[in-house]
Amino acid sequence: MIEIKTSKTLQSAAGSMTLELDYKVAPHDFVALYGASGSGKTTTLQLLAGLTQPEKGYIKVNDKVWLDTESNVNLPPQQRKIGYVFQDYALFPNMSVRENLLFALENKKDQAIIAELLETMELKGLEHQKPHQLSGGQQQRVALARALVRRPELLLLDEPLSAIDTEMRLKLQDYLLLAHQKYQLTTLLVSHDIAEIYKLSNRVLVLEKGQITQDGCASAVFSTQTSSGKFQFMGTILKIEKEHFLYIVSVLIGHQLVKVVAMEEEINTFAVGEKIAVSSKAFNPILNKLR
C-alpha cells in the first residue's frame, strides 16, 4: 500500500500553482497519471523518488515512512526502493548495456538478476554495446531493465514510450506489462496516450493544474457518456462529407480509417479533429482467426 499526501508549490510559465496530492495505491496496481503538460505529473514521480521535496506532507510505502515533514523524516532517493525510468532514459553513455545494469547492482554476487533481466528484455546480443549504438526502443528496454536490478517495490515510468514510433511502442507496452507482472510491481506511469493507458493501467488519476480531478478505471475516466455498447473505440474525426441527405464521417481509430454514417442533427455537434467514441450496441461480432 502506498499513501501519499503532499503539497508543493510549483513555478511554471503560467505562474505558480500548488500541486496537491492525496491518494492511496493498492499493491500491484498499475496506475496511470494523465494530464496536460505542466499539470504536475513528472513532479509527482519525483516526489515519490525523493528527487524533489514538498513543503509539507507524508509518503508511506508498505508501512515504511519515506517522508514526513512533521517529524522531519526524509529518506534520500538512494534508500527508497524505487525503479525510475526517465523520459530520455538517462543511460550512462560511458558504460555498455551490461555495465549500466551492473552499476545498479548492490551486491556483486547477485549477478543472476542481470542475466535474467537481459534475457527477459531480449538484450542478450546487445550487452556489450554502448547506449548511443542502440535504437530508441532498445535504449528503453535497457532503462527498464536497469530500473529493475534492485528489485524495487515501486516502478516509476515518466512517459517512457513517448519518443518511440507506434509499432515499437505496442511491443514495448508488452515488455512493461511483463515486467509489472513478473516482478510483482506497483507501477506509476505518466502518459499522454489514451490507448496506452487503456492497455496497461487498471486505474487512472487525472491531474489538472496540480489537482487530481478524476480517479477511476480508464473506461470510466475517458468516455464521457455512459454507453451500454459492447464495442467502443476512441478515434479522431478526419473528415465530414455530405452525401444526399446523410453525412459520412471519416474516423481514424489507431491506424484504421473507419467511415460512419451520421444524421444532420448529430453532425452539428461534431468538428474535424475532435476526439470521438465510436460504439455499437446490438450486433453480433464474428471472430476470424488471423494467420
Partner 1 sequence: MIDFAPLYVTLKLALTTTFLLFLVGLPLAYWLAYSKAKSKIILEAIVSLPLVLPPSVLGFYLLLAFSPENAFGHFLENYFDIRLVFTFSGLVVASVLYSLPFMVQPLQSGFQSLPPNISQAAYTLGKNKWQTLIHVQLPNMKTAMVTAIVLSFAHTIGEFGVVLMVGGSIPNETKVVSIAVFDEVTAMNYETAAIYSSILLVFSFLILIGVYGFKNRFAKISPLS
- 132 touching partner 1, by CB under 8 A: yes
- 92 touching partner 1, by CB under 8 A: yes
For partner 1, give the closer residue by CB, 103 or 231.
Answer: 103
Least Å distance, CB 151 to partner 1, is 11
Stretch of 115-123, 147-155, 240-248, 249-257 contacting partner 1, by CB under 8 A: 147-155
Least Å distance, CB 157 to partner 1, is 12
DSSP 39-65: SSHHHHHHHHHTSS--SEEEEEETTEE
The HSE-up count of residue 92 (CA atoms within 13 Å, CB side) is 13
- C-alpha span between 152 and 1 (Å, rounded): 14
With b for 16 or more beta-carbon neighbours within 10 A and e for fewer, the 192-219 pattern comes to: ebbbbbbebbebbbbbebbbbeeeeebe
Three cell numbers at 72? 522531519
- C-alpha span between 126 and 18 (Å, rounded): 44
Sign of the four-CA dihedral 225, 231, 237, 239: negative
Least Å distance, CB 14 to partner 1, is 22
Sign of the four-CA dihedral 274, 277, 282, 285: positive
- C-alpha span between 271 and 226 (Å, rounded): 21
Return the bridge partners of 205, or none: 33, 215
- 90 touching partner 1, by CB under 8 A: yes
- 260 touching partner 1, by CB under 8 A: no
For partner 1, give the closer residue by CB, 49 or 276.
Answer: 49
- C-alpha span between 3 and 79 (Å, rounded): 17
Residues in region 65-84 near partner 1 by CB under 8 A: 76-80, 82-84
For partner 1, give the closer residue by CB, 186 or 197.
Answer: 186
Least Å distance, CB 124 to partner 1, is 22
- 58 touching partner 1, by CB under 8 A: no
Stretch of 9-17, 145-153, 194-202, 257-265 contacting partner 1, by CB under 8 A: 145-153
Residue 117 · residue 169 · CB < 8 Å: no
Least Å distance, CB 148 to partner 1, is 11
- C-alpha span between 140 and 64 (Å, rounded): 30
The gap from C-alpha 219 to its chain's centroid, in whole angstroms, comes to 15
Stretch of 21-29, 35-43, 62-70, 143-151 contacting partner 1, by CB under 8 A: 143-151
Residues in region 12-51 near partner 1 by CB under 8 A: 49, 51
- 94 touching partner 1, by CB under 8 A: yes
For partner 1, give the closer residue by CB, 132 or 244.
Answer: 132
Select the residue interacting with partner 1 from 7, 38, 75, 86 (CB under 8 A): 86
With residue 281 as reference, give the H or E element that holds it. none
Chain residues binding partner 1 by CB under 8 A are 49, 51, 76-80, 82-84, 86, 88, 90-94, 103-104, 106, 132, 146-147, 149-150
